[in-house]
Amino acid sequence: MASNSARIGAVFLGALIAAFSPVAQADDTKSVHVRGSTIFLPAMQVLAERYMAEHPGSRIVVLGGGTWWGVKTILDGSAEIGMVSGETVPDELAEVAEDENLSLHRAPLARFGVVPIVHPSNPVATLTVAQLHDIYAGHIANWKEVGGPDKPIHVVASEDAMAGIFQVWASRIMAGTVVTPVAKTVAATQIDAAVAADPLAIGYNALGRMVPSVKPLKVGGVAAGEDSIADGRYMVVGDLALAYLEPLAPAAKAFLDYCLGEAGKAETGRIRAAYIGDRR
């Protein structure tokens, strides 16, 4: 019986120590999970591989999934860093953050351009912001009105309101106006395919994802490029940021700093975006 009491005492003491020691499980792990914007994905993949090569034993696990998924996974703890494009946090996720008293931090890293695209056979080469607005609002419905053939314009737009290109288009071109209901809406990553397949179509895509099967248009006479985005001449732009919760585990903090520093500066060109990681 005495030995039994001693055993209970030991258990009790051990449990007491465990209960009062600081919880540190989350901080022991060397892995960092990154999720989110597919616009930023190609740069993040290279940053992750470079980091793992320079820091043996570290594991950076990268997955796209889109901005919504990036925000969602850092809120539920399955990722540490979210790649987010655009300014909006969707209501349902903002609610989760509020309920659980989590505050989302963002570190801007790259400014990216969104480019109007048409079929390669389309003679139109440049459109103004006002013309793009009117086309997407449905006020201009014939290519003839903007210097093209006498044919109807087929508007293609993103169906995903959280996609970075949707948000940039909504704020920089539409300025609050609703896109015409006759627009064809497809997944953000499918717009170029839809435009490549239709000589009368107009769509938009991120500069870093431009494909040869579509023709990029200038906006107000300015071609999108890293320089014209960086110096502000090209106006249809949005910011990519790395989102996270405080306190950030040391491994994730180290990788975040790496991305925001020289390495990030070197790799943002890969997605033809302008580096803004030093503008915090």
CB of 36 to other proteins, least distance (A): 12
Task: Select from 40-48, 110-118, 199-207, 237-245 the region that touches other proteins (CB under 8 A).
Answer: 40-48
CB of 63 to other proteins, least distance (A): 6
**Which amino acid type is present at position 95?**
E
Using the Cα atoms of residue 221, residue 227, residue 233 and residue 237 in order, give the sign of their dihedral: positive
**Which residues ranging from 182 to 241 are in contact with other proteins (CB under 8 A)?**
187
CB of 200 to other proteins, least distance (A): 28
Q: How far, in Å, are 95, 117, 124, 131 from residue 145 at the CA level?
A: 45, 17, 11, 9
Q: How far, in Å, are 13, 28, 103, 258 from residue 4 at the CA level?
A: 14, 35, 48, 54
The reply on whether position 130 binds other proteins by CB under 8 A is no
The reply on whether position 54 binds other proteins by CB under 8 A is no
Nearer to other proteins, 68 or 204 (CB): 68
Q: Which helix (H) or strand (E) holds 92?
A: helix 91-99
Burial string for 113-125 (b: 16+ CB within 10 Å, else e) reads: bbbbbbbeebebe
Report the residue from 39, 40, 48, 116 that binds other proteins according to the rule CB under 8 A. Answer: 48
The reply on whether position 12 binds other proteins by CB under 8 A is yes
Residues 211/117, Cβ–Cβ less than 8 Å: no
Q: Which of 208, 195, 152, 180 is nearest to 38 (CA)?
A: 208
CB of 66 to other proteins, least distance (A): 6
Report the residue from 36, 37, 64, 165 that binds other proteins according to the rule CB under 8 A. Answer: 64
Binding mask 82-101 for other proteins (x = CB under 8 A): ----------xx--x-----
Nearer to other proteins, 229 or 240 (CB): 240
Please report, as ranges, the residues that interact with other proteins according to CB under 8 A.
1, 4-5, 7-8, 11-12, 15-16, 19, 29, 31, 33, 41, 44-46, 48-49, 52-53, 59-66, 68-69, 72-73, 76-78, 92-93, 96, 160, 187
